[in-house]
Amino acid sequence: MNEAPIIHIVPVVCWDGNCAELLQQEAVRVLEEGRVLLFPDLSFEIRPPEKLFLNPAIVSGAKNVVFNAATGKLGGCQCVGAEAEQLATMLKRFAESAEARIETLISYAATAKDCMDITQPGSAGGPQAGGWETCRQSPVQPDPSLVGSVNSQNSSESRI
């Protein structure tokens, strides 16, 4: 049996702009299969004053610097004051760029399945109650039962 590789390469080279519908459909299918999207040709600009953050010496007591995009809070780093603000600004820029790219890439899913009603008895309580009641308002809506299950207890943390 020939299984698809877990990593799927996406040939995107810029952070903004529309994607072909075929590429969007493929990305959604790959994600629904539980596979990982890899963007090897998509680079993120590190501005000259930000290059100092590429030094592992800024990490404090952890393997990674952690950034909570919802609160702007940094963790796992030794930066304070203006340096911490500059690092948070860079990480926020990355998080916003990544979110916009993913929304553009999989936006067709929201329009193709707009307001699909899969209401079942007891659905308001989630899967434990017997189902889900959904009307997609956003192209990206995480499964509430999975929030916090990947590398973190806070799903809004972004790691570079």
Calpha distance 142→149 (Å, rounded): 11
Contact 77, 87 (CB under 8 A): yes
pLDDT of 28-82, one tens digit each?
A: 999 999 999 999 999 999 999 999 999 999 999 888 999 999 999 999 999 999 9
Break the chain into its structural domains and give their ranges: 47-158
Element (H, E) at 23: helix 21-32
As a whole-number percent, the residues of the chain with pLDDT over 90 amount to: 46
With CA atoms as reference, report the closest residue to 111 among 3, 48, 21. 21
Calpha distance 44→151 (Å, rounded): 22
Residue 33 in 3-state DSSP? coil
Task: Compute φ and ψ for 157, nearest 5 degrees.
Answer: -80, 135
Calpha distance 53→50 (Å, rounded): 6
